[in-house]
Structure 1
């Protein structure tokens, strides 16, 4: 039974803002999900599915901003022992700090909100699964930490811990 072969690295959306020198030393980095994921990104993480050994995951993303401001993010997800998978995000900012969109792996809409310097993404998946991601920008503005939890009937069945880096764009 395959519990999870979907948003392994829902890596989708974050950051930007003033350079570190322009922020107060302890001020959180503000997310600009559209700007962060426009261009090329690389993610490397550890995926743990309940009752299975952990596995490594790599995600290669290419994002571009459409005329209407929507981010189109195409990703290739590589997980050891599983064929590479393609997925597509379409995300737009609906109000400052709030995002809405779609993900080809999701079973409904994706919603996002910037909370305390982190981006929270949430969506449903097939099989009664519910995913939540917290993406926190690093002070360098070119990397972020992604933690995703997938629950079934309130019980955690999948956990992803990933580092995302902007590599171009």
Structure 2
């Protein structure tokens, strides 16, 4: 977003109605300890997502995401002989937002401690951080233009579906919300 556009949107941030709110149907699953959300299991192989993206001053648009996940093993580069190799979840995605041309992006995540993740996303500036809390996976990163992104993915009991609520904020104001259902297979 250009500085001019941000300057035009800034006064709207002072109005309560200028924020995008999370749709009530976006969080249909309560947080639970089981099943545990393990992104290395859920995103292995094919998955697809479909949802609605609401942006400030825009009509809602449908978003479709086709994903293919795989595990890569990276050798440990430190001088320790007993250091384990690193498992990397690589998730290749094709994202279609409304009538726009599909775009490709890639996630790369490693588990740095039990339930804690770091990695990269082609859309992100800097690193992606994440944590698994029972059936919920929370991912956070920054995007170009100073936008902060927080995704909360909640695994359904069947382990094959997840609800994804992605919120984009700027200067503490929510400017976009994606409510999506992701299905494995």
Band of TM-score, shorter chain: 0.7 to 0.9
SS at match of 1:82: coil
Structure 2: unaligned runs, 5 residues or longer: 6-31, 74-85
CA distance in 2, matches of 1:120, 1:77: 20
Q: How does 1:126-137 map to 2 (within 5 A)?
A: 126-137=144-155
CA distance in 2, matches of 1:154, 1:161: 19
TM-score (norm 1): 0.82
Partner residue in 1 for 2:70 = 64
After superposing on structure 2, the runs of 4+ consecutive aligned residues of structure 1 that deviate more than 2 Å are none
Q: How far 1:144 sits from its partner (Å)?
A: 0.3
Question: Does the Cα contact within 8 Å between 1:57 and 1:79 map onto a contact in 2?
Answer: yes
Partner residue in 1 for 2:91 = 73
Larger gyration radius, structure 1 or structure 2: 2
Partner residue in 2 for 1:6 = none
CA distance in 2, matches of 1:59, 1:30: 23
Partner residue in 2 for 1:148 = 166
CA distance in 1, matches of 2:162, 2:64: 14
Q: How many residues align?
A: 145
Question: Does the Cα contact within 8 Å between 1:34 and 1:92 map onto a contact in 2?
Answer: no
TM-score (norm 2): 0.75
Partner residue in 2 for 1:96 = 114
**Greater helix fraction, Structure 1 or Structure 2:** 2
Instruction: Say if 1:141 and 1:116 are closer, same or farther in 2 by CA, change over 3 A.
Output: closer
State the superposition RMSD in angstroms: 1.5
CA distance in 1, matches of 2:51, 2:162: 12
Q: How far 1:117 sits from its partner (Å)?
A: 2.7
Deviations 1:73-126 (A, max 9, x none): 100001112110100000111111101100000011000011243111000000
Q: How does 1:29-68 map to 2 (within 5 A)?
A: 29-67=35-73, 68=86
Establish whether residue 82 from structure 1 lines up as the match of residue 100 from structure 2. yes
